[in-house]
Amino acid sequence: MQKEKFGTTKDGREVTRYTLTNQNGMKVSFIDLGAVITNIWVPDRDGNFDDVVHGYDDVASYEVNEPSFGAPVGRCANRISDGHFTINGVEYKLDQNDSTNCLHSGFLRFNYLMYEAEYEKGDGEEILTFSRISPDGEQHFPGNFTYSITYHLTDDDELIIDYEGVSDADTVVNMTNHSYFNLNGEGSGTAMDQYLTIHAKYYTPVADSHSIPTGVYGEVAGTPMDFRTAKKIGQDIEAEFEQLKFTGGYDHNYVTDNYAKGNRRLIATAYSDKTGIAMDVTSDCPCVQFYAANFVENEHGKNGHTYNKRDAFCLETQVEPNAVNVEDFHSPILNAGEQYDSVTAYHFYIIK
């Protein structure tokens, strides 16, 4: 594990970058500001190593990071309608930072906060754990929430993210990672020529441009939302389909197949014909948000690159958006003293 100074925050805190390397030369870098993934270098079919995630070169950019590049998201990923929910008869009012919605828990995001870091060498893997305590009332959520985000880089070229935590009061927890992938390499331009499969018969249609689900599942069959067999991300993204018009392209929650609590299974696969880089996504979450970077514009990133609309895609494992307010969705409520544990992994390999 390599450890180096990355920079200093505007309030004088030193930020450290940590880089894990496996036996195949795959490398993943993180910073303790936000426990953010800054780089993922994987080999392409020609043996060159490509960095396949968006990010920045400096601390100041990560202190803003409006698109949430590489960011762990919590306590609650995605949208909560009208910025409120009720637990045990008590209403909690959240930041309304996305029109009237609370998006990714509001203005104070987990990726703006500093973490303690601990490294260990595992059997066939490098392990880096970031941890902190989210105090009662942070982001307006109840309970002191003690949590950790553990990254495992295995010698099988798999990056595993394990979220764990416990709260001393009933609260809402729905954590994810918001990495933006481009399997042609970050800064290479559009990702719409890359292929994607999502193992989901259903998705959650949204009511309008505010992107809150209607509360019912919709079938993907016969619609541009269908990714059950591999197709280019951009193939249908401009289709005359109301759901795509609402969100400016793909920005929808998919209800993935074969969910059972604690069961990590394959939910999505992406690959690039150009580089030969493929990525399998496995998770024990019931859902995944597929976002085609519709709202990224003129974002100055790593290596002098500028990121724009649809230059990447996100696969954010989760429960349904606004699930805390919809009884029929998977509940994000974590009871006091109950252990929160969720795992998502990204496995990289080469297709010929």
The residues that are catalytic are 178, 316
Count other C-beta atoms under 10 Å from residue 273's C-beta: 14
Tell me the CA distances in angstroms from 228 to 231, 250, 280, 293, 332, one per residue in order.
Answer: 9, 15, 14, 21, 26
How many Å apart are CA 216 and CA 223, to the nearest integer?
16
Alpha carbons within 13 A on the beta-carbon side of 287? 25
3-state secondary structure the chain: CEEEEEEECCCCCEEEEEEEECCCCCEEEEECECCEEEEEEEECCCCCEEECECCCCCHHHHHHCCCCCCCEECCECCEEHHHEEEECCEEEECCCCECCEEECCCCCCHHHCECEEEEEECCCEEEEEEEEEECCCHHHCCCCEEEEEEEEEECCCEEEEEEEEEECCCEECECEECCCECCCCCCCCCCCCCEEEECCCEECCECCCCCCECCCCEECCCCCCCCCCCEECCCCCCCCCHHHHHHCCCEEEEECCCCCCCCCEEEEEEECCCCCEEEEEEECCCEEEEECCCCCCCEECHHHCEECCCCCEEEEEECCCCHHHCCCCCCCEECCCCEEEEEEEEEEEECC
